[in-house]
Amino acid sequence: MIYFVIALLIVSIYYFYIYRPVTVELKELRNTRIEKQNELDYLIFQARQIPDLKEERDSYLAQKNRLEEMRMSVADLLVVVNRVARNKDLEILNFNPLRAGDRIELEVRFRGGYRQISEALISLNLPEKRLEFLELDLRADNQREIIIADIFLIHHRDQG
């Protein structure tokens, strides 16, 4: 009977002081391994998306640059049209950039005399301004003895 108590005491000591702490630590390590594996899987998932994200970022940056170029070109065109109108004593009623790409389409409306409008058209038609006239509509305002010119034109941007 004493051997049974000693054996039970040894098994109890082994179970409570060696086996149980090791199994608890093993369980914690398994949980930690699962957490780390989940983190690793998530990081691998994110790493696989990097090329797509870079491509998307490059696309957005290119689009941003095109929009900035368009805005600058439209602003420059407004300065040119405004300068011509001021030099020819014309009033700008409308300046509407319609679309951009390799070119900017514009709709411009002037009000003034026939001679001033024709001189403005000649000034705008200079090659260095890279403007192509697509449509010109002249209407007389008989009450004020002036002409309203609706001009639809394209500004060709430099390709180089």
pLDDT digits (tens, 9 = 90+) for 14-25: 888 888 888 999
Q: What share of the chain is helix, strand, coil (3-state, %, to 5)?
A: 60, 25, 10
With beta carbons less than 8 A apart as the criterion, state whether 111 and 148 touch. Answer: yes
Query: Cα 101 from chain centroid?
Result: 15
Domains and CATH numbers, the chain: 70-156 (3.30.70.60)
Q: Which percentage of the chain shows pLDDT scores above 90?
A: 24
For residue 30, the one-letter residue type is: R
Crossing angle of helices 114-124 and 20-87, rounded to 10° = 130
Q: What pLDDT score was predicted for residue 147?
A: 84
| Series of mean pLDDT values for 10-residue runs along the chain (160 residues) | 85 86 92 94 92 91 74 74 90 81 80 88 72 83 79 68
Q: What pLDDT score was predicted for residue 160?
A: 43
> DSSP letter at 14?
I
Q: What pLDDT score was predicted for residue 56?
A: 92
Q: What pLDDT score was predicted for residue 72?
A: 54
User: Nearest Cα to 71, choosing from 93, 107, 100, 109?
Assistant: 100
User: Nearest Cα to 156, choosing from 129, 118, 138?
Assistant: 129
With beta carbons less than 8 A apart as the criterion, state whether 111 and 90 touch. Answer: yes
The sheet with strand 91-100 has its strands ordered as 91-100, 103-112, 146-156, 131-141
